[in-house]
Chains A and B, each alone.
Chain A
Amino acid sequence: MSAPIIWIAIPFFVGIFSLFILRERSSALIGGVTASVLALIAMVLPIDIALLLGSISIKISPSIQFFGRSFEFNTADRPLLVVVYGISALWFLGTEASGTSRRFVSLGLMIIALLTASIAVEPFLYAALLLEMAAMLVVPLLVPPYQKPGRGPVRFLIYQTLAMPFILFSGWMLAGVEANPGDLGATTQAGIVLGLGFAFLLAVFPLYNWILMLMEESSPYVTGFLLWALPTFIVIFALSFLDHYAWLRNSSQLSNGIQFTGVFMVASGGIFASLQRHIGRILGYAAIAETGLLILVMGLKSSEIVTITFLILISRGLELTVWALALSIIKRKAYSLRFNEVQGLARTYPVAAAALILAHLSMTGFPLLVGFPPRLAIWGELAGQSLGTSFWVFLGMLGLLVGALRTLAVFVMADQGKSWSMNESLTQRTMLALGIFGLFILGIFPQALQPFLANLPSLFEHLGQ
């Protein structure tokens, strides 16, 4: 069997199968188990190397031809597949606890399969088309059949669709620039077109308003999944661009531009988060700030770009899972998610409130939590390059911390006579407790991620070498 069939075709068809056949409860289980098994296979079985089990020889071939082009995974992709399907399993297993519809697992599996295909397709440029298809599959999740579509999903669809032509054209233009690097005009044009494409894809300021709209209009769990899945693969796609084109890597103007964009997103996301009175919008701004961190890292002149990026992506996956799950549970009680409705909720939903605050604190880079090691690494790199940039990043993180403290204050602001009770179901408590455990364990023992991180730089030929 070939690797693309295992990690692309199988989850895609399991997604289709579960869409039509399975019932709600078993759907979450099937999705979680499928993703876990795929992560396990990626961890255990090598690609393109024969494995002898008794008298049986197993070999996963690395590529498959499709309409004259290839989809290919190699050994370097294995840690990435483990991370992607491992975190996906968490999302799918949390479906029941979050009260999200069964379609989430079905479409989620198909989305992850398409996004995984985006890292396997050769030439890598075609990933833009697969990202667009995945984005389209998200829309039915964002808009339930009984709800009139708001502006958020429509704007999301517009921005993601606009990104695709920009990226495809920029790829064609970059090929020309590679052939004639002295042509400054063509270089500038290609850079602008590419920048616009990624600005739409990564929701760079001021194109991030759909995130905040979705946090108010759609299910927080689905939006959280979207804010984890799409940026993860878009960042890998962006790194592929940097890896393929030498002038992108070596251009100091481009590097400064990327850094400025990242810093602006971190600072604006953090400051705006501190001013919100809606706990869903706070998550949105925190995700924007973290995307800013990822962009900032891409602009750093460092050999550690790949390692730090994946460290952020792993922590982001766990933080957003816990945060979105807690938010979904709270939303059942306080639909609007505004401060005046969630006041004193720590007494009635203590586990959800604690999980939400811990995930939020982790995103601010609070020590002992999973978000701390990547931020420490970023501070280390930034301190050596620019104190001005460090200041603005600090301001953004401070804004997020203020947002966390305000949320905490609102959660515990209850009448003295109000008694404590635990209204989360057993499944919800178990999932949240597991999430909190993960936030602490990976924060206290970040070296547990080392086996995955050590091989990830080999995904790229030039970056991080």
Chain B
Amino acid sequence: MVMDIISWISVGLILTTATTILINRDWRVGLGALAVQYLAASWLVTRHLPFAMGSAKLITGWMVVAVLGITRLGLTNLEHEEDTFWPRGQGFTAILMGIVALITMGSTLSIEAAIPGLGLPVIGGGILLIGAGMVHLGVTSDPWRVTIGLLTLLAGFEILYGAVESSILVTGFLALVNLGLGIIGSYLLMAGSSPLEMEDDR
């Protein structure tokens, strides 16, 4: 019973953090929300995987947050790419997140019926994160936000996939993929922001 309550609190946290990341433009707030999101996601992962594997996901996630944070701290003159399409803005993304929440509520029960045993909070949390990630990727091509979007989407996928696959190798590879995405995201942020280094590339 207590476990279920904590799981539902995690789903609530996921909804809040995903919406915050999507709407808020301050990178510090975004990264903080991502760190909390990893905490909630790793709790949901431990519903089906051993605690050690859930902890590995949490540590990996926080490492990614650290990598992105350190990179972003070092960049002072980063220009954010403005969205070039309509509709846009915080209201629009909030509506999109609302739609994701509605779809999650609609689909969670039917997925639980199709795949019994996953658990409603696990399905709800996973679908919410996947939906939030898709919204992110759909509304921007800015490398920073794309990286956050991909990490969000992968976190949702890991919650659901952890319920059906418990291989250590897969967990390890997924951790590497998450770390890799964080590093690639940092690289994309730094690329072009430092003075020309032509000796490396003729």
Mutual binders A and B: yes
Residues of the A chain whose Cβ atoms lie less than 8 Å from the Cβ of B191: 143-149
With A and B bound together, what is the CA distance between A399 and B49 in angstroms? 53
Kindly provide the distance from the CB of B164 to the nearest chain A CB, expressed in whole angstroms.
5
Kindly provide the distance from the CB of A417 to the nearest chain B CB, expressed in whole angstroms.
33
B51 close to A (CB within 8 Å): no
Kindly provide the distance from the CB of B57 to the nearest chain A CB, expressed in whole angstroms.
15
Tell me if A143 and B167 are in contact (CB < 8 A): no
Kindly provide the distance from the CB of A19 to the nearest chain B CB, expressed in whole angstroms.
11
A445 close to B (CB within 8 Å): no
Which residue of chain B lies nearest to A155 when distances are taken between CB atoms in the complex?
B141
The size bracket of the interface on A is 35 or more
Residues of the A chain whose Cβ atoms lie less than 8 Å from the Cβ of B146: 154, 157-158
- A136-B180, A149-B143, A161-B154 given as contacts; is B200 within 8 A of A144 (CB)? yes
A129 close to B (CB within 8 Å): yes
25 contacts between A and B (CB under 8 A): A67-B172, A68-B168, A102-B200, A103-B200, A126-B167, A132-B177, A133-B173, A133-B176, A136-B180, A136-B181, A136-B184, A137-B180, A139-B184, A143-B187, A143-B188, A143-B191, A144-B200, A145-B190, A145-B201, A146-B191, A146-B201, A161-B153, A161-B177, A168-B170, A169-B161
Residues of the B chain whose Cβ atoms lie less than 8 Å from the Cβ of A101: 200-202
Tell me if B184 and A154 are in contact (CB < 8 A): no
Residues of the B chain whose Cβ atoms lie less than 8 Å from the Cβ of A162: 137, 153
Q: Mark A29-69, 1 if CB is under 8 A from B, else 0.
A: 00000000000000000000000000000000000001111
Residues of the A chain whose Cβ atoms lie less than 8 Å from the Cβ of B195: 146
Tell me if B165 and A148 are in contact (CB < 8 A): no
Which residue of chain A lies nearest to B192 when distances are taken between CB atoms in the complex?
A148
Residues of A near any B CB (own CB < 8 A): 24, 66-69, 99-103, 126, 129-130, 132-133, 136-137, 139-140, 143-149, 151, 153-155, 157-158, 161-162, 164-165, 168-169, 172
Residues of B near any A CB (own CB < 8 A): 130, 137, 141, 143, 146, 150, 153-154, 157, 160-161, 164-165, 167-170, 172-174, 176-177, 180-181, 184, 187-188, 190-198, 200-202
With A and B bound together, what is the CA distance between A99 and B174 in angstroms? 35
With A and B bound together, what is the CA distance between A126 and B171 in angstroms? 11
- A68-B169, A154-B188, A168-B165 given as contacts; is B198 within 8 A of A146 (CB)? yes
Residues of the A chain whose Cβ atoms lie less than 8 Å from the Cβ of B192: 145-149
Tell me if B181 and A161 are in contact (CB < 8 A): yes
Instruction: Using A129-B173, A146-B191 as known contacts, list a sample of 15 further A-B pairs with CB atoms less than 8 Å apart, ordered by residue number in A.
Output: A68-B169, A100-B201, A126-B173, A136-B180, A139-B187, A143-B188, A145-B190, A145-B201, A146-B197, A147-B192, A148-B193, A149-B192, A157-B146, A161-B181, A172-B164
With A and B bound together, what is the CA distance between A129 and B154 in angstroms? 12
Tell me if B201 and A172 are in contact (CB < 8 A): no
Which residue of chain B lies nearest to A66 when distances are taken between CB atoms in the complex?
B169
Tell me if B141 and A154 are in contact (CB < 8 A): yes
- A140-B184, A140-B187 given as contacts; is B200 within 8 A of A145 (CB)? yes
Q: Which of B137, B141, B191 has the most CB of A within 10 A?
A: B191
Q: Which of B154, B170, B201, B202 has the most CB of A within 10 A?
A: B201
With A and B bound together, what is the CA distance between A396 and B18 in angstroms? 45
Residues of the B chain whose Cβ atoms lie less than 8 Å from the Cβ of A151: 141
Tell me if A136 and B188 are in contact (CB < 8 A): no
Tell me if B169 and A139 are in contact (CB < 8 A): no
Residues of the A chain whose Cβ atoms lie less than 8 Å from the Cβ of B168: 67-68
Residues of the B chain whose Cβ atoms lie less than 8 Å from the Cβ of A139: 184, 187-188
With A and B bound together, what is the CA distance between A154 and B148 in angstroms? 12
Kindly provide the distance from the CB of B198 to the nearest chain A CB, expressed in whole angstroms.
7
With A and B bound together, what is the CA distance between A146 and B161 in angstroms? 38
Residues of the B chain whose Cβ atoms lie less than 8 Å from the Cβ of A169: 157, 160-161
Residues of the A chain whose Cβ atoms lie less than 8 Å from the Cβ of B187: 139-140, 143
Which residue of chain B lies nearest to A172 when distances are taken between CB atoms in the complex?
B164
User: Among the listed B150, B153, B161, B176, which residue makes an inter-chain contact with A157, where contact means beta carbons less than 8 Å apart?
Assistant: B150
Which residue of chain B lies nearest to A104 when distances are taken between CB atoms in the complex?
B201
Residues of the A chain whose Cβ atoms lie less than 8 Å from the Cβ of B167: 67-69, 126
Q: Which 6 A-B pairs have the closest CB atoms?
A: A148-B192, A129-B173, A101-B201, A67-B169, A165-B157, A136-B180
Residues of the B chain whose Cβ atoms lie less than 8 Å from the Cβ of A132: 177
Kindly provide the distance from the CB of A392 to the nearest chain B CB, expressed in whole angstroms.
32
Tell me if B190 and A158 are in contact (CB < 8 A): no
Kindly provide the distance from the CB of B31 to the nearest chain A CB, expressed in whole angstroms.
19
Kindly provide the distance from the CB of A330 to the nearest chain B CB, expressed in whole angstroms.
15
Kindly provide the distance from the CB of B102 to the nearest chain A CB, expressed in whole angstroms.
22
Tell me if A158 and B174 are in contact (CB < 8 A): no
Kindly provide the distance from the CB of B200 to the nearest chain A CB, expressed in whole angstroms.
5
With A and B bound together, what is the CA distance between A99 and B201 in angstroms? 8
Residues of the A chain whose Cβ atoms lie less than 8 Å from the Cβ of B157: 165, 168-169
With A and B bound together, what is the CA distance between A126 and B165 in angstroms? 11
With A and B bound together, what is the CA distance between A169 and B193 in angstroms? 38
User: Among the listed B170, B180, B188, B190, which residue makes an inter-chain contact with A133, where contact means beta carbons less than 8 Å apart?
Assistant: B180
Kindly provide the distance from the CB of B202 to the nearest chain A CB, expressed in whole angstroms.
5
Kindly provide the distance from the CB of A307 to the nearest chain B CB, expressed in whole angstroms.
32
User: Among the listed B130, B150, B172, B193, which residue makes an inter-chain contact with A158, where contact means beta carbons less than 8 Å apart?
Assistant: B150
Residues of the A chain whose Cβ atoms lie less than 8 Å from the Cβ of B170: 126, 129, 168
Kindly provide the distance from the CB of A110 to the nearest chain B CB, expressed in whole angstroms.
12
Tell me if B202 and A145 are in contact (CB < 8 A): no
Residues of the A chain whose Cβ atoms lie less than 8 Å from the Cβ of B130: 165
